[in-house]
Amino acid sequence: MKRQMTGAKMIVQALIDQGVDTVFGYPGGAVLPIYDEVFQQNSIKHILVRHEQGAVHAAEGYARSTGKPGVVLVTSGPGATNAVTGLTDALMDSIPIIVLTGQVPTFMIGSDAFQEADTVGITRPCTKHNWLVKETDRLAATIHEAFHVATAGRPGPVLVDIPKDVQFATGTYAPPSPSASHYQPKVKGDLEEITELVAAIEKAKRPVFYTGGGVINSGPGASQLLRELVEATGFPITSTLMGLGAYPASGDKWLGMLGMHGLYEANMTMHGCDLLINIGARFDDRITGVVDMFSPKSKKAHIDIDASSINKVIRVDIPILGDVGHVLEDLLKIWKSRGRKTDKEALGKWWSQINEWRQMDCLKFKQTGNTIKPQYALDRLEALTKDHDRYICTEVGQHQMWAAQYMGFEDPNRWMTSGGLGTMGYGFPASIGVQMAHPEALVINVAGEASWLMNMQEMGTAVQYNLPVKQFILNNERLGMVRQWQELLHGERYSQSWSEALPDFVKLAEAFGAKGILCQDPADLDDAIMEMLNHDGPVIFDCVVEKHENCYPMIPSGKAHNEMIMGENVDTQMAIDKDGAVLV
Amino acid sequence: MSALKIKKGATSHSAYNLRPNFSDVIERHTLAVLVENEPGVLARVIGLFSGRGYNIDSLTVAEVDHTGHLSRITIVTSGTPQVIEQIKAQLGRIIAVHDVHDLTVEGASVERELAMFKVAGKGDNRVEALRLADIFRANVVDSTLESFVFEITGAPDKIDAFADLMRPLGLIEVARTGVAALQRGD
């Protein structure tokens, strides 16, 4: 039904018609008419963040934990520029986000007006698409298109820039119509290629599934189909950081995460396999190690919805362009109709080889002495929370890798971490977004003290909305991953990788009106974690850990999957050669 | 779906149409990109090339379908076959891009470019410039007693050749449009 209304009212109406229940935002001069409409309605809850970067990460957390797009509303100029890191983060990790920015009125654009920035220019390379709306009559259709573009195909962030006069003016509102867009990505895979993959599956002697965030993004149905496929074929499965939870960590075919800090068995399986089936991953450099030596003996298949991901880094033999869910459905159908064949004898041998690799027990550690090992802290956190309805966020660094290694994910959409961009400061606001979407769930942000401080202002948000997010800070008073690389690569010259003048986290929590817990003794850890879990409200948990612990296993940069270095017997000075040193 | 009617998200780009092995030879390709004629679309295309480190040898753009709001961008680019495939796939991802055609691999095509040359000189040089212009079917579009402006159309090679000949005869300024290209036949 078409109706006349102001641009500002249209924006709120369009959000309601798109099924939005939560908006993360921060007001300012160029969005005042929209905030006036937000004030006069009850359908959409607005969460006032403390910094626009926090709004975008919160929306990402909301999106990743629900599968629905996250929505952000910020003002012009600094409001928009502060959103840039979040947009780039969402672009790298393919997270559907709609960011609405205010803009100076159309007649002032280009005059260097107060709080004017070329928002569409600045955000062009960090959005999937963006629009500047200059006519109120175009506003509703543009917002509906923005939701379509953000969620269709490979998801991503979009931005709609709306000048203030367009918000005040009256125009015609039209509800969403799905067929309106010319952007209709193909979701069904080519059946010939899928059949070729089935034939490869039937013959494979040393296969492996290598799965990624594309499985999660394809929806819960895709994870279900993946589980069916893994169980039916009996093939081993590993996953990228982004794909954790698509296949349950408790499953017996699970090898753990692969890549730079992946598990020994996962990387050795990748290196030794004869059929590599990439499902919704993108051969990121954290996964492949040095490209020339990546999985040298395998036939490679790649299922991806984005044509540009295929053959970008690694040349594949069987490219399948399509949505993971649709392709897996067809793949299972064809494989079953051909008699559910696999080479069981070869598979048996392959598994005994893999089980040998598993004997390496690459995540083993010894908790001795009076200092908490970070691995131990996460091991205990995992043990005491795994039976909860639980969501885990992380910041970026060593703690993030340890969380991926030591925590088990049984379901998709339970793990929120900045993979592609590696954004310190992501986890705390993301945990706020997750908790908004799942008010009754246990939401934990595993953090390092340095990352956490980057968006600590969001304590105000957590307290204002009484969001019981648990900030589990592994405090080593170091930028741990930077320090680790300086040890491996720069002669132990620890340039600027100290966290000096750290706050007293307990007092900091109290200053915000939240609870703080300090734990320094391994003997107290379980009780302290239980105290955190039993507190109904936001908690900062300051877990003081071993300062010089390194994160292993590790594929040093410039090396291949079979050249991992392990926790013990490391000659750290020789780990990375000159060619590897230029890599990040 | 014919090779000419590549739709967005179709199976035409990097995943398919692969030559047996990627080689390291640098190839020159002419791409025709049909885009929505909306503000910023050229910036999206150029930003893709600069952001990802691809080469642009020539680029032309103009609206070709006023009612459909479509513009045609002709890009001449160079790179290894893998890079060319990446460029096409990356172009295909841009929401405002409707079609991407690789004229270099989709059968024979014609390429034309328009250029204007200002040549200043007296005496024999002036006569020689005029004679060569005639051979190259360049037109004189402006003339003073001491200079000519020639207008020439042709394939880029022909224009390069004409420029080489004019240089010793007093070439002082060049303006080139960049390449426009179309597939031969129907």
Which pLDDT does position B24 carry in this prediction? 84
Of A184, A302, A319, the CB nearest to B16: A319
Work out the burial of residue A245: count CB atoms within 10 Å of its CB; fewer than 13 is exposed, 13-18 middle, 19 or more buried: buried
- Which one-letter DSSP state was computed for residue A291? G
DSSP 3-state assignment of A216? helix
Mean pLDDT, range A220-225, rounded to an integer: 98
- Rounded CA-CA distance B100/B105 in Å is 12
Pairing type for strands A415-416 and A390-394 reads parallel
Test mutation, B6, B11, B69, chain A, max A CBs within 10 A: B11
pLDDT at A520 over 90: yes
Least Cα separation, residue A311 to chain B (angstroms):
6
- Residue of A436, A466, A461, A460 lying closest to A63 (CA atoms): A436
Half-sphere exposure of A274 (CA within 13 A, CB side): 11
Interface predicted TM-score (ipTM) of this complex, two decimals: 0.91
B11 inside 8 A of chain A by CB: yes
Q: Do B8 and A310 lie within an 8 Å CB cutoff?
A: no
DSSP 3-state assignment of B177? coil
Whole-prediction pTM value?
0.94
Which pLDDT does position B154 carry in this prediction? 97
Which pLDDT does position B14 carry in this prediction? 40
B43 inside 8 A of chain A by CB: yes
DSSP 3-state assignment of A302? strand
Pairing type for strands A470-475 and B139-143 reads unpaired
Mean pLDDT, range A325-341, rounded to an integer: 98
A391 neighbors A44 (Cβ within 8 angstroms): no
Mean pLDDT, range B95-100, rounded to an integer: 95
Tell me the pLDDT of chain B averaged across its residues.
Answer: 89
- Residue of A342, A476, A328 lying closest to A397 (CA atoms): A476
Which CA distances in Å does A259 have to A292, A375, A413, A580?
15, 19, 21, 16
Q: Which residues of A touch B86 (CB under 8 A)?
A: 308, 311-312
- Rounded CA-CA distance A492/A484 in Å is 9
CB atoms within 10 A of CB A410: 13
Which pLDDT does position B2 carry in this prediction? 31
B95 inside 8 A of chain A by CB: yes
pLDDT digits (tens, 9 = 90+) for A229-275: 999 999 999 999 999 999 999 999 999 999 999 999 999 999 999 99
Of A282-286, B1-5, B65-69, the least confident: B1-5
- Which one-letter DSSP state was computed for residue B64? E
CB atoms within 10 A of CB A98: 26
CB atoms within 10 A of CB A92: 19
Q: Report which secondary-structure segment, H or E, holds A129.
A: strand A129-132
pLDDT digits (tens, 9 = 90+) for A530-573: 999 999 999 999 999 999 999 999 998 889 999 999 876 555 55
pLDDT digits (tens, 9 = 90+) for A397-445: 999 999 999 999 999 999 999 999 999 999 999 999 999 999 999 999 9
Test mutation, A186, A283, A321, A326, chain B, max B CBs within 10 A: A321
DSSP 3-state assignment of A400? helix
Which CA distances in Å does A280 have to A124, A208, A248, A323, A410?
25, 14, 17, 8, 18
Which pLDDT does position B13 carry in this prediction? 42
Six-digit token pair at A321? Answer: 């362009």
